[in-house]
Chain A
Amino acid sequence: EDQVTQSPEALRLQEGESSSLNCSYTVSGLRGLFWYRQDPGKGPEFLFTLYSAGEEKEKERLKATLTKKESFLHITAPKPEDSATYLCAVQAGTSGSRLTFGEGTQLTVNP
């Protein structure tokens, strides 16, 4: 069974204080690892897809990296508008197209 574990569950940062969110996964044949951002009352917003170990993707203050067992979402000099829940999901070769999500990291950035 595919499993995704995100840590920490919640993270409070001061504006400008860089940090990283972790996503550990166990799957049979990773096809892709996805990061989403979800604001309260909204649907998940796509951020990145990573397909193989060593791959990195960047977008503004966010950078996602992937190893064979985990992915990190690095947030550099965050701003209050980066406050949201960040979701990690995997797509496995034995599970077809469905995504298995972690429970998310709730990030709060204080001004």
Chain B
Amino acid sequence: NAGVMQNPRHLVRRRGQEARLRCSPMKGHSHVYWYRQLPEEGLKFMVYLQKENIIDESGMPKERFSAEFPKEGPSILRIQQVVRGDSAAYFCASSSSERTEAFFGQGTRLTVV
């Protein structure tokens, strides 16, 4: 049973470009979460999705960031017009229900140059 799969593991973008981060949840999990870990800071919640629905996006910056979890395929976190401050590790997690433990992927490390 494969774990949470994230790709790419490392992503380098120039300022102003778009970044697309992908996450395939564990088999049987329909709840997906995205967290961001800035250098020397803790993990911060960004967004919670179920299939085709955004349940909680209270941690997502209002501009340039969007997330989706389509009926088919992985969840996507999209960052438009990236800036240096977006450089961070982005982690995806999945769970089988709202109240059970979430399992994390290995993260995508975004570097904006």
A and B found bound together: yes
A7 CB, nearest partner CB in chain B, Å: 14
Residues in chain A near residue B6, CB distance under 8 A: 43
How many B residues touch A, CB cutoff 8 Å? Answer: 27
Residues in chain B near residue A100, CB distance under 8 A: 45
Question: Which residues of A31-56 are within 8 A (CB) of B?
Answer: 31-32, 34, 36, 42-46, 49
Looking at A10-18, A68-76, A101-109, the stretch in contact with chain B turns out to be A101-109
Q: Is the CB of B55 within 8 A of A96?
A: yes
Q: Is the CB of B98 within 8 A of A96?
A: yes
Partner of B91, one of A31, A44, A49: A44
Nearest 8 pairs of A and B residues by beta carbon: A43-B104, A98-B45, A103-B42, A101-B43, A97-B98, A44-B104, A43-B106, A101-B42
* Residues of A that sit less than 8 Å from B by CB: 31-32, 34, 36, 42-46, 49, 87, 89, 91, 96-104
13 A-B Cβ contacts within 8 A?
A32-B101, A34-B102, A42-B107, A43-B4, A43-B6, A43-B105, A44-B104, A96-B48, A97-B48, A97-B95, A98-B59, A101-B44, A104-B42
